[in-house]
Structure 1
């Protein structure tokens, strides 16, 4: 199994080259501002740049951008961290923007643009074709203000002045944490508003570290007389929080009735079952007891080749086991994706959102980011430790998973949530999975204890808001209201 193919699954993107990714910031008219700002006062013709003397090494640019048929005010901008520039979209809530919570959404990868989440899953508008968008009645901004961010640098419309790349989630987390502090400090009406970090796929790696960086940064903000960021929760969908738990579960989802029916022959399942003990032993020695980067990577690929490669030969969609899509042509099952890239490559769209005229065709994937992250072995680190520490500090965590996903399946995600060591582990494990419903129909199963919740969504694959929009919005709205699912 080549790493490129694995990356394609985790980021949900197509293969295109990035052109024109480097350009001069000065090409876009920017007016500097120091002090509080109001969103309604922002122009659409140029960016307003904002910064704070106590939040060093980072500023941001923002403007109005009416490009999405979403029924609300929308904004775009860049987070400027030295020579690194992260692109973002921001949409106000359809309900009560002056009081509703704030969400930040990121897609996976590493290197996958959040345009997929915006235009194909949970944004105010869905892609309607290569030239237009349409209103999404199930957008996650129904009761929340929401950011979509292209990160790390080099992803989507994000860029670096000299082509540098961020090679680890830890480094990217610091930029996101600083920006959240700057945003809440600058736009005073949002100050103290609850923040929820949301995302899917490789966001299972991103978000626990983003949350830790934001939480730990609050001590510094307080010491400087600034308002701490009110980190309320983390929401991860079909996440890659624990790669090994996912890979080991490939046996379960192919050879048992965990999802539909056994997909593999008895002979294939016997070979997979025999490989499991060696996989677990290699993982324990090289990745858990003592982390050795090279040995851990070798363990990962042994496990993946033994347990994952058989699935790839079936011709099924890695994002949805109920669909048949050849592994190298999985976009045949999702025609929206090429339309998103065509739409965002058009000059009138790029002008409206403030992208430099020298930027070329938009691509949903950065292979440079992918290779940089794998070179640093970023995907091999377990992240449940960060989830546990956030839970201990009162941050709420929701892990949800579409039951038809293969690559980041519900079995593996449930497994690590039960194995994670924290003060509520015994109580959490003791709780049974019970039904949760939407409009009188069972939507999935849920287990909850204290501030930790795990939920499944029946009939959904990797992209839950795309596959089950009404159910995913109901889940989010109940979570924001702190109600039981």
Structure 2
């Protein structure tokens, strides 16, 4: 069996805004700490009181729900120090420790995983959807839209060695299948401590490289004769489900169409990108349903030079390529592939490309079109050519440096470490470089798309739903990559959705949230005004979506049978949303370490572009949502604003 767009596979480093660690040498040996009162023997309900967080946490002068934290073994033979660290919060008093009964079996619970690989899920807790928010100045505030208000939820550091998780030097995972087996072993211990979790519906969720982890966890789940938990839904945001060409490079033209600000709304430059898009074979045809398997896409290297990280893509594993991608995304000086055009005027560059519009792939960039787009913006387009920053996680955010996201001082505080029963054999760090053992060791696991149809078949048989979401402002894993993965997967007997997603959805205050579509147990949503970390960018909208579409069964966007035959979409569809892309708001956010101002191109420039692109794409461009929607998510800085 062949799978589409699998010629090149790589994974992108998705640890938010943190420089990669460059430690070298042998992976460390670490182990959990035995605090006073730890019960003897294997995990059981006797461990509940031990894991209960009872000591005050510095700066947390507001009420939070009861929580439990510590390390549990993954039950890998010969590796007793291989553990996962968890921090779980109750949605109601006693909801985690209640005796299992018919009422508790109906209450959902949630797991949240960040990606990386090697990123601690404490990032999600402190900067996305947890009850405690660490601000850029190090202060601690309450997150008004924490998901523990809706569900018992555990933030889990995994694989072994990541964050406060531990491993001996020979106990790191060899591949993603080991990741899955370790996770099942951890869950088996977790339900021994909290028995009512065993029969309650579990929503396993995460973002970014968790799109790699979670499918392998589900693969292990379906391979386990008597799994320790009852999975109800799989929920992945901006996930690395497809190969890198599909989720990072193929969507470049859609990124430019979403953010024409990158090219200064210039039709001539757009046409060059469109031609390169077609020459590289990136103009894949999506049909509803998908009538044919999407083809393999070879990655064409630059002709005129060798790019170190591009060469790495040809010859090495996912893990070896990650740090290079991270650096190109966040280091302004290394962001572009070359500074050769820094002194060249924009018009000279355009004349230069006009000489090459002969049906030839760009010799300098090859088919690395995203890099060409970033390079163009940094050289020729304000504000990127002025402040030298480009945020691949949220194109609308041109703050340089980005707001700080630093949890290490809090988590490594001895008072916090003891309260959370965390290891003393290591310090917590957001990113861990030895996920697969020796730094850069090849990780041979194929991308999840290679077995996603099999996974979907098993999920359908067990009535497990899939929810995949994407942030419209994300250039690292643009929404088109997720849509390609969906349309290349057979679920419920049909490949992909039968209708193009075009149903608007709104939050609890009636504000436009984006597009949603649901068919045969699969849900897809595109979030307007959000980048890669959706709960951080649009906390209220993400909270509402989690409540309504993940924990709940909101039917908006669902294809259902019509009374007289055929089908219809609940909530209808809008023709202006049926285009290929949802244009972003006009604002680009500026500042140093925080949003201090915005920049919007002149109305005449934007109007001229609108007229051009409507004709060029032969579709009606979506009407812009209220600009206050995007402005609000970038301006979230106070509790009052967060709750508005």
Q: TM-score, normalised by structure 2?
A: 0.61
Residues 15 and 345 of structure 1, relative CA distance in 2, 3 Å threshold: farther
- Deviation (angstroms), 1:116: 0.9
Residues 253 and 10 of structure 1, relative CA distance in 2, 3 Å threshold: farther
- Deviation (angstroms), 1:183: 2.2
- Deviation (angstroms), 1:404: 0.4
User: Matched residue of 1:198: which SS?
Assistant: strand
Residues 276 and 367 of structure 2 are in contact (CA less than 8 Å); yes or no, is this contact kept in structure 1?
no
Match of 1:79 in 2: 72
Measure, in 2, the Cα distance between the counterparts of 1:17 and 1:342: 20
Task: After TM superposition, list the pairs within 5 Å mapping 1:49-448 onto structure 2.
Answer: 67=57, 71-81=64-74, 82=79, 83-94=81-92, 97=95, 99=104, 100-128=107-135, 132-162=139-169, 164-217=171-224, 219-220=225-226, 228-243=228-243, 244-255=245-256, 257=257, 259-261=258-260, 263-264=262-263, 265-266=269-270, 267-276=272-281, 283=297, 306-313=368-375, 314=377, 315-324=389-398, 332-335=401-404, 337-338=405-406, 340-360=407-427, 362-369=428-435, 375-378=442-445, 380=447, 382=449, 384-385=452-453, 387-393=455-461, 394-425=463-494, 428-430=497-499, 432-438=501-507, 439-448=509-518
Residues 297 and 377 of structure 1 are in contact (CA less than 8 Å); yes or no, is this contact kept in structure 2?
no
Q: Matched residue pairs, number? A: 439
Residues 205 and 241 of structure 1 are in contact (CA less than 8 Å); yes or no, is this contact kept in structure 2?
yes
Residues 416 and 6 of structure 1, relative CA distance in 2, 3 Å threshold: closer
Are 1:14 and 2:19 an aligned pair?
yes
Residues 21 and 159 of structure 1 are in contact (CA less than 8 Å); yes or no, is this contact kept in structure 2?
no
* Deviations, residues 85-110 of structure 1 (Å, cap 9, x unaligned): 22111111148835431111100111
- Where is the helix percentage greater, Structure 1 or Structure 2? 1
For 2:545, which of 454, 475, 485 is the aligned residue?
Answer: 475
For 1:484, which of 518, 535, 555 is the aligned residue?
Answer: 555
User: Matched residue of 1:456: which SS?
Assistant: strand
Measure, in 1, the Cα distance between the counterparts of 2:367 and 2:93: 48
User: Matched residue of 2:517: which SS?
Assistant: strand
Measure, in 1, the Cα distance between the counterparts of 2:539 and 2:248: 27
Residues 38 and 187 of structure 1 are in contact (CA less than 8 Å); yes or no, is this contact kept in structure 2?
no
Measure, in 2, the Cα distance between the counterparts of 1:304 and 1:420: 29
Measure, in 2, the Cα distance between the counterparts of 1:364 and 1:295: 25
Residues 304 and 172 of structure 1, relative CA distance in 2, 3 Å threshold: farther
User: Matched residue of 1:86: which SS?
Assistant: strand
Residues 386 and 36 of structure 1, relative CA distance in 2, 3 Å threshold: same
Measure, in 1, the Cα distance between the counterparts of 2:551 and 2:189: 23
- Deviation (angstroms), 1:153: 1.5
Larger Rg, first or second structure (1 or 2):
2
User: Matched residue of 1:369: which SS?
Assistant: coil
Q: TM-score, normalised by structure 1?
A: 0.79
Residues 113 and 151 of structure 1 are in contact (CA less than 8 Å); yes or no, is this contact kept in structure 2?
yes
- Where is the strand percentage greater, Structure 1 or Structure 2? 1
* Deviations, residues 170-223 of structure 1 (Å, cap 9, x unaligned): 101111112223322442333311111100000111111212322332x245xx
Residues 16 and 34 of structure 1, relative CA distance in 2, 3 Å threshold: closer
Measure, in 2, the Cα distance between the counterparts of 1:472 and 1:233: 16
Measure, in 2, the Cα distance between the counterparts of 1:461 and 1:477: 20
User: Matched residue of 1:42: which SS?
Assistant: helix
Residues 171 and 311 of structure 1, relative CA distance in 2, 3 Å threshold: farther
Match of 1:53 in 2: none
Residues 87 and 158 of structure 1 are in contact (CA less than 8 Å); yes or no, is this contact kept in structure 2?
yes
Measure, in 2, the Cα distance between the counterparts of 1:6 and 1:212: 19
- Deviation (angstroms), 1:247: 2.6
- Deviation (angstroms), 1:78: 1.0
- Deviation (angstroms), 1:27: 5.4
Residues 282 and 297 of structure 2 are in contact (CA less than 8 Å); yes or no, is this contact kept in structure 1?
no
Residues 163 and 273 of structure 1, relative CA distance in 2, 3 Å threshold: same
Match of 1:58 in 2: none
Measure, in 2, the Cα distance between the counterparts of 1:190 and 1:38: 16
Once the two structures are overlaid, the 10-residue window that deviates more, 346-355 or 468-477, is 346-355
Measure, in 2, the Cα distance between the counterparts of 1:160 and 1:16: 18
User: Matched residue of 1:398: which SS?
Assistant: strand
Residues 71 and 429 of structure 1, relative CA distance in 2, 3 Å threshold: same
For 1:32, which of 32, 36, 40 is the aligned residue?
Answer: 40
Once the two structures are overlaid, the 10-residue window that deviates more, 429-438 or 375-384, is 375-384
Residues 428 and 298 of structure 1, relative CA distance in 2, 3 Å threshold: same
Match of 1:57 in 2: none
Residues 63 and 137 of structure 1, relative CA distance in 2, 3 Å threshold: closer
Measure, in 2, the Cα distance between the counterparts of 1:468 and 1:38: 39
- Deviation (angstroms), 1:352: 2.0
Residues 11 and 201 of structure 1 are in contact (CA less than 8 Å); yes or no, is this contact kept in structure 2?
no
- Deviation (angstroms), 1:309: 2.0
User: Matched residue of 1:333: which SS?
Assistant: coil
